Structure 1
């Protein structure tokens, strides 16, 4: 029996055949936190689908025409899909088994070749395929988006895998999407998670393989803040949202980044500058990166 709960990077099809990407391991009763990515028009490049979420980043996400709900416990607004509107639930770990058993096209053969050349020892049940491949709408120039499950295997992967070719396009696109200087983007870029394999663009994403408890604390917005200090991280920095601890001027902050581009920077960097929204979460302080009002950023300090 497959799992009956939702995890980050799963894909959902609603009753109108629109495709959504799940963004958390925790979900409120009756809803799934997920953003709308593809809408079927019959004319789109992705087997009749058109991509409506064309540029990543929270400021681009909030422009999508879908349902957003304010979650008072988290003090923020999330894109949501009602459970009652779900038609299909696609799971990355099911797709990788299907591809390895019988690849259907050259892109799926590329996935098999990539896995063979990574030189990383990963059990098959800790790997998944998401994106357009999982949704069944990929075309010959689609990217390959792979998922690594579990804290042990996520850390083993980033500390072992060297990456293939550099994806210079990602650096330029990320600079434009997030309004960041090229030199700053280069400090957070790594071939471990974004690159090219024989001309095919790839990404490696990390997901906890267990659901998280919803509503563990109540957060209240305070004000924008910039803080510089010592960054202490573990496997949680690799998942979404990325989490680490910042010690700055005698205070302790939890860094919570809803911008996935900063995950490796939070995982590896010993000192950072963080700009985001300060939240008071009961007896803890959080700096949220990816707040819809101010955006925010992480800058590694060498």
Structure 2
């Protein structure tokens, strides 16, 4: 059995590179194909050219090349995995090579976050980043919440870490293409505090569970589209993937988001509006938002936050 968790990457015998998409892997590594060798590719790793696949392209590729690996995500057989790329090991390497990563690491270390709680994912993990690549910075477990506070203080201090420009917010909005207006998106995002700039490079502060926090999150049976209003009663894993909101509702116990756009979207005690796919698992009903990477006509909005913004 391969020990891996979300935000790790794996490399197969064919040199295909997948992003791990789950914490548990009962029948193979649950993942999404991100890079494939291509003689005309613009990115290079170990002398080999690669092409980056977006979400839809990766599914088309898998339907053509490995349809037997295709379920709700891509299931890579354990015996086809050649390497597991570890974000914790990679952040140590990049600290010595990339001054931007070193600056984030130093700020977090000065605030008490140990290096073994940090990681790098995204294109930097397999070394396929280019000049325009963002930095996907991980902090593991409960240390993430302290890291967010440290980043907020660093922004106020006016050093190399600072807030996003309006132009960058518009860029992120266009990339994520959420089903809510820009002003609503911005109100939610600014409150989250999980994005920043290090010099001129955008970075995300991503949450991943510690090993001892991991429990299986299985998919249920789809029952159809649903829109609800409910009060959030617990948001301990609101920044996880999936983001988990326990809610007070006569029928639905949880709202889950599989898209990063709606992670950290609401706080306990807030009333939300959510639209997605209703599913049932072991007699428990959940509303799932993010049935595609850029979900159309699915969302989570904190009605409480938006009402406060109007005052």
TM-score, shorter chain, exceeding 0.5: yes
Task: Show structure 2 runs of 5+ residues with no match.
Answer: 156-161, 306-311
User: Greater CA deviation, 160-169 or 277-286?
Assistant: 160-169
2:164 corresponds in structure 1 to 166
Counterpart of 2:8 in structure 1 is: 10
Distance 1:178 1:131 in 2: 19
List per-residue Cα deviations over 1:46-70 (Å, max 9, x = no partner). Answer: 22222111xx6xxx47744225544
Distance 2:219 2:276 in 1: 18
1:123 equivalent to 2:110? Answer no
> What are the equivalent positions in structure 2 for 1:43-62 lying under 5 Å apart?
43-47=40-44, 48-53=49-54, 60=56
State yes or no: 1:65 paired with 2:61. Answer: yes
Q: What does 1:144-163 align with in structure 2 at a 5 Å threshold? A: 144-150=135-141, 152-162=142-152
> Aligned equivalents of 2:37 and 2:168: distance in 1?
27
Partner of 2:100: 110
Aligned equivalents of 2:135 and 2:267: distance in 1? Answer: 23
Give the alignment's TM-score, normalised by structure 1.
Answer: 0.82
State the distance in 2 between where 1:143 and 1:265 align.
22
Distance 1:247 1:61, change over 3 A: farther
Number of aligned positions between the proteins: 280
* Cα distance in structure 2, aligned partners of 1:166 and 1:12: 31
SS in 1 for 2:112: coil
Aligned equivalent of 1:202: 203
Q: Pairwise CA RMSD of aligned residues?
A: 2.7
State whether residues 107 and 150 of structure 2, in contact with CA within 8 Å, keep that contact through their aligned partners in structure 1.
no
Question: Do residues 96 (structure 1) and 86 (structure 2) align?
Answer: no
- Select between 114-123 and 200-209 the one with higher mean Cα deviation: 114-123
3-state SS, counterpart of residue 279 of structure 1: strand
Compared with structure 1, are the counterparts of its residues 99 and 175 closer, same or farther at alpha carbon in structure 2 (3 Å cutoff)?
closer
1:299 to 283, 298, 301: 301
**Kept in 2: contact 1:120–1:160 (CA 8 A):** yes
Residue 298 to residue 171, structure 1, CA distance change in 2 (3 Å): farther
Distance 1:269 1:95, change over 3 A: farther
In 2: Cα distance, 1:155 partner to 1:203 partner: 14
Q: Which has the higher contact order (CA 8 A, sep 6+)?
A: 1
- The answer as to whether partners of 1:269 and 1:300 remain within 8 angstroms in 2 is no
More moved, 205-214 vs 163-172:
163-172
Of residues 110, 113, 134, the one that matches 1:143 is 134
Aligned with 2:206: secondary structure? strand
Provide closer, same or farther for how the CA distance between residues 217 and 42 of structure 1 changes in structure 2, counting only shifts above 3 A.
closer
Q: For residues 170-189 of structure 1, give each alpha carbon's deviation from its aligned partner in whole angstroms, at most 9, with x where no partner exists.
A: 54443464353212321332
Distance 1:259 1:95, change over 3 A: same
Whole-angstrom CA distance in 1 between matches of 2:130 and 2:106: 22
Cα distance in 2 between the residues matched to 1:27 and 1:171: 36
Q: Cα distance, 1:229 vs. partner?
A: 2.0
Gap regions ≥5 residues in structure 1? 71-76
Deviation string 1:28-63 (CA, Å, 9 cap, x unpaired) is 22x11111111221333322222111xx6xxx4774
Q: Quote the Cα distance in structure 1 between the aligned partners of 2:4 and 2:126.
A: 15
Which residue does the alignment assign to 1:73? none
- Post-superposition shift, 1:15? 1.4
**Could you say which structure has the higher helix fraction?**
2
Alignment partners' CA distance in 2, 1:155 and 1:97: 21
Pairing partner for 2:25 from 17, 24, 27:
27
CA–CA distance in structure 2, aligned partners of residues 146 and 269 of structure 1? 29
Question: Is the 2:176–2:261 contact (alpha carbons within 8 Å) kept by the matching residues of 1?
Answer: no
Other-structure match for 1:79: 74
Q: Check the 8 A contact 1:289/1:295 in 2, yes or no.
A: no
Q: Say if 2:230 is the partner of 1:229.
A: yes
How far did 1:218 drift?
7.1
